[in-house]
Amino acid sequence: MSLTAEESVTTMTINGEADLLRIRAMLRAEAQLAGLGLTAETKLVTAGSELARNIVRYATHGQGTASVERLRSEGRRGVRAAFSDSGPGIADLDEVMRDGFSTGGSLGLGLPGSRRLVDEFAIDSAAGRGTTVVIAQWAR
Amino acid sequence: MPEDVPIIRMGPNLLVALQGNLDDTTVEQIERAVTGEVARTQATGTLIDVSGLSIVDSFVARVLARLVAMIRLLGAEATIVGLQPAVAITLVELGVPMGHVRTALNAEQGMARLRGSRDEPDR
């Protein structure tokens, strides 16, 4: 896909649960600027909340970053968000992408559920070298 | 802040309105405040109004489901009312199991249902 004119990139550090609120607010603001509908916006904010919470819960010291950028491609507008940490990483990606898999006592819906909520979802991780999840949502 | 969570008493029922952008700690404090109030007032029904929530992620959904289960264990009915359509769509796609949670479109309908479920045994 040819992406042009990344209009803005905002990066926020994640240090704890309180940062979830800032990330949700930032995603919502960007979604509205990109012209996403309310349902697409709600799904994006929810997916971002799940992914940011994963960092708080599983990354080393609960630390990582979230960066959000507005996209424009062939006249379409969207929002892309990347969630990165340098935590323990994920050894078996297939396993964590299955509904109900959890090592943290949660519902195990964070990653597979987030994937269902957004138009694009990519995960990059390996044991010992952190995790990056990139999601994108496009205006219809 | 849980102090700001309005828990309104309406006859034998409680109405709890959740609002804004809830963080995890606040959600858990609300849970304790509501179960405490149900026990203290001996309410027979509780409406949990979530119309003020623009996002319900899996954590908040799980706490809501847990709160409903706790209220039932205390012997009262619990109904979640006012879920925004975009939030409902998101919860279904996220895969959060909420099927066992009683819901109503708004507080009025939820209140009518609470009355209905109490009246039934007498009929």
Residue B55 lies in a domain: yes
Residue with token string 């004119």: A5
Residue with token string 């992914």: A51
Please tell me the least confidently modeled range out of A49-53, B23-27, B75-79.
B23-27
Whether B59 sits inside 8 A of A38 (CB atoms) is: no
Q: What pLDDT, on the 0 to 100 scale, is given for residue B47?
A: 96
Highest mean pLDDT among A100-114, B19-33, B91-105: B91-105
Nearest CB neighbour to B23, from listed A17, A106, A110: A17
**Tally of structural domains, chain B:** 1
Whether B24 sits inside 8 A of A17 (CB atoms) is: yes
Residues of A with CB below 8 A from B86's CB?
A: 38-39, 41-43
Domain carrying residue B14: 2-118
As beta bridge partners, residue A131 has A85, A125
Residues of B with CB below 8 A from A39's CB?
A: 85-86, 89-90
Residue B106 lies in a domain: yes
pTM assigned to the model? 0.88
Q: How far apart are CA B68 and CA B101, in angstroms?
A: 7
Q: Residue B120 — pLDDT band, cuts 50, 70, 90?
A: low
Q: What pLDDT, on the 0 to 100 scale, is given for residue A95?
A: 83
Q: Residue B5 — pLDDT band, cuts 50, 70, 90?
A: confident
Residue B112 has pLDDT above 60, yes or no: yes
Whether B89 sits inside 8 A of A42 (CB atoms) is: yes
Structural domains in chain A, CATH included, are 9-138 (3.30.565.10)
Residue B87 has pLDDT above 60, yes or no: yes
3-state helix, strand, coil in chain B (%, to 5): 50, 20, 30
Question: How much is the average pLDDT of B60-84?
Answer: 92
Mean pLDDT computed over every residue of chain B: 87
Residues of B with CB below 8 A from A41's CB?
A: 86
Question: Which amino acid does the sequence have at A58?
Answer: Y
pLDDT per residue as tens digits for the range A1-59? 445 555 678 999 999 988 999 999 999 999 999 999 999 999 999 999 999 999 998 88
Q: What pLDDT, on the 0 to 100 scale, is given for residue A105?
A: 57
Q: What pLDDT, on the 0 to 100 scale, is given for residue A60?
A: 85
Strand order across the A64-73 sheet: A9-14, A64-73, A76-85, A131-138, A120-125
Separation in Å, CA of A39 to nearest CA in chain B: 5
Residue from A49, A56, A52, A115 nearest A83 by CA? A52
Q: What pLDDT, on the 0 to 100 scale, is given for residue B118?
A: 66
Nearest CB neighbour to B86, from listed A38, A106, A112: A38
Q: Which residue has the higher pLDDT, B115 or B68?
A: B68
Residues of A with CB below 8 A from B90's CB?
A: 39, 42-43, 46, 117
Q: Residue A90 — pLDDT band, cuts 50, 70, 90?
A: confident
3-state DSSP call for residue B9? Answer: strand
Q: Are B54 and B19 in contact (CB under 8 A)?
A: no
Residue B76 lies in a domain: yes
ipTM: 0.86
Residue from A9, A25, A31 nearest A77 by CA? A31
Question: How much is the average pLDDT of A105-126?
Answer: 86
Q: What is the CATH number of the domain that holds B61?
A: 3.30.750.24
Q: What pLDDT, on the 0 to 100 scale, is given for residue A40?
A: 98
Q: How far apart are CA A117 and CA A47, in angstroms?
A: 6
